[in-house]
Every structure is written in structure tokens, then in C-alpha cells.
Amino acid sequence: MDARRWRLYEMLKPKLDEEPARELVLALPAQPSELVTKDYLSSQLTTLEARVVDRLTWRMITVMGAWSVMVSSAWAVVLAVLR
């Protein structure tokens, strides 16, 4: 435990008892700068949504293109057989 967390543990120990104070202090991140903020998560979610929409759009275009080729080919076969 670093000095900052140790001081917090020492302050909490008389109020919470030893085990709950230790669990609380150890639950805190060692590097608070590594915490994720709501703004960061929101921006990442927006980026992810954009990527998913883009990927789904391209897949839909591919499926529609394949479907068009398949239907066109089927009609060509039907017309060739009927002639």
C-alpha cells in the first residue's frame, strides 16, 4: 500500500474496524488517473455505434447486391427457358 492509501486506512480503521477499512482502501484504484469517466465512455460508445452502423450498412448493401444478382439471374434463366 502506498503512503496515501495507508493514511486513509489509518483514518478509517477506528471508524470502520480493521477489515472493512482494509477492504475499502484496497478497493480503490492504485492509480486514480486510470479511472474511466462518463465522458470517455460516452465518446467511446459514440465511436462504437458509428462503426457498427457503418459495418451493418455495408453488409446490408452486400446482401442487397447479392439478392439483386440472384433475382436477375433467376429471371434470365426463366426467360431463356420460356423462349
Each residue's pLDDT tens digit, 19-77: 999 999 999 888 877 788 999 999 999 999 999 999 999 999 999 999 999 999 999 99
Asked whether residue 17 falls in the same domain as residue 49, the answer is no
Q: Which domain holds residue 81?
A: 37-83
Q: Return the C-alpha cell found at 8.
A: 486513509
Q: Average pLDDT in the 14-19 region?
A: 94
d(CA 16, CA 30): 21
Asked whether residue 28 falls in the same domain as residue 41, the answer is no
Instruction: Count the domains in the chain.
Output: 2
Contacts of residue 80, defined as CB under 8 A and 6 or more positions apart, other chains included, come to: none
Asked whether residue 70 falls in the same domain as residue 83, the answer is yes
Asked whether residue 46 falls in the same domain as residue 16, the answer is no
Residue owning grid cell 472493512: 20
pLDDT of residue 70: 96
